[in-house]
Amino acid sequence: MSGRIRTEILSRKYIAPSSPTPPHLRFFQLSLLDQLSPNNHRNVTLFFTASTAAAHNHNNYSLLSQFSFQSQRLQISLSHSLTRFYPLAGRLHDAATIHCNDHGASYIEARVHSDLSRFLANPDFHTLQHFLPPNNNEIPQITEFPTANSNCSLLLLVRFTLFACGGTALSVSVSRKFADLPAFNTLLHYWTATCRGVPPPDVPDLGLGPSRFPPREIPEIISASGINTRADKFTTRRFVFPASNVEELKRGIVTALFGRDNNNDKFQFQFQFQPSRVEVVLALIWRSAVSAWSTKTGSFRPSAMFLAVNLRPRMEPPVPRTAMGNFLWPLAVTVEKESELNLHVMVRKMRERMKEFVEKKAKRLKDEGGYGMAMEYIRENEEMKEKEVVVYNCWSWSKNEMLEVDYGWGNPMSMSSVNRKMKNTDLVQFSGMNPSVVYRIPHNCSDEAP
């Protein structure tokens, strides 16, 4: 489907918590890792087929009636959920603080004059953007709070869209200052349970981030240097890898790493590990990107791939998955020589860097050690810029549970995520329909490190 799609906004409003936030919770302190996170949003769009009733009564009134019923359930349950996730109903006050003023999360109802099946047959980046909530600076002043959306301070935005066939798209956009991907999962599962009227599976823990990584006074130039989020021009590509092809790549990498014992036809391991699907696909995409760079520029340049490491299970003591905030760490894996552009070498580098991080650095991530490691990361990034290293960022959604959410009308049939800001970024996603899916979002040939 082309990027041209007719969209109609039905309503705009803000959803406040069902119970006022107590005065002593009016200001929420962010953690050090929250401070260092970019002031933009991560998002997910969940696509749902038409309900049985709407599918059998395909007329405009019945579709709108069913859509209105579902939207009311979403709004009421979101309002109740925001009493637990109360910072999301506030506004970003400064780099280290959220003002929990209950001004609410942005909520938009919309409709598109196209069928869901037609869209999913050939989705593209430009069309996907039609289902996202608007950026902060695109939201008009629509409530009694004249400054509710100033200074790019909104933390949660929702858009619920009706297709002509009765299918729907629910887009949720949450600030990276408050939630990494596991925290995003916690939010969605709490909201969906509330929407179904059942006890939520997990209660969010909002205080662990600031207690494990106390906020610090950080110069603005440092807090802004972690990730390049400028809205440069970029292109988006979607690649689908059949599971059988990924397994074949894995076998080839294991053979190259460890060889084959012809006597008993078993692999002999110097140290046992099986490359994961994520490692295999990332190595392939990374090598392709570096090769494309070399072909275009006529020379090889060292490159680095930053992997997002979930710190929760690797800290002492481990942090529960329900902890809100940012517990992801950017781990750099480098290729400094052209001879290292072999899949098995790149996979081995990923595994070795992860092993080194878990055994040596993860233990430092407590108390004030987190600040020292953060400064090391900043210095490492600056050195890469000086050496003109080409940098790529990636994260994996392979173990996310968003396709398992259920608001009361079944699980989503598909999902997507659109990166509006970060260049040279890979998102790796695995799903049941397409076991190995990679979105290249976005990539250009800029020589700046992020």
Query: pLDDT, tens digit, for every residue of 293-326?
Result: 899 899 999 999 999 899 999 888 889 999 999 9
Cβ proximity of 213 and 33 under 8 Å: yes
Sign of the torsion angle spanned by Cα atoms 331, 446, 229, 143: negative
Q: Which residue in 150, 169, 142 sits closest to 50, CA to CA?
A: 169
Q: CA–CA separation, 269 vs 267, rounded Å?
A: 6
Q: What is the mean pLDDT of residues 377-388?
A: 86
pLDDT, residue 60, reads 67
**Which residue stretches of 338-435 are H helix?**
343-356, 369-386
Whole-number mean pLDDT of the chain? 81
Query: Of 55-59, 262-266, 369-373, 437-441, where does the model show the most confidence?
Result: 369-373
pLDDT, residue 142, reads 39
**Can you list the pairs that 214-217 forms with residues at least 24 positions away whose Cβ atoms lie under 8 Å?**
214/31, 214/32, 214/367, 214/368, 215/29, 215/30, 215/31, 215/32, 215/34, 215/35, 215/96, 216/32, 216/35, 216/371
pLDDT, residue 61, reads 67
Give 293's strand partners. Answer: none
pLDDT, residue 173, reads 95
pLDDT tier at 100, thresholds 50, 70, 90: very high
pLDDT, residue 237, reads 74
Give 168's strand partners. Answer: 48, 162
pLDDT, residue 423, reads 54
127 phi/psi in degrees, rounded to 5: -70, -40
pLDDT, residue 58, reads 58
Helix/strand/coil (H/E/C) assignment for every residue in 246-269: HHHHHHHHHHHHHCEECCCCEECC
Q: What is the value of pTM for the model shown?
A: 0.85
pLDDT tier at 422, thresholds 50, 70, 90: low
434 has pLDDT over 80: no
pLDDT, residue 398, reads 75
Q: CA–CA separation, 114 vs 52, rounded Å?
A: 19
Q: CA–CA separation, 112 vs 164, rounded Å?
A: 7
pLDDT tier at 228, thresholds 50, 70, 90: very low
Query: pLDDT, tens digit, for every residue of 37-94?
Result: 888 898 999 999 987 545 555 566 688 999 999 999 999 999 999 999 999 999 999 8
Enumerate domains of the chain plus CATH numbers: 7-216 (3.30.559.10), 235-443 (3.30.559.10)
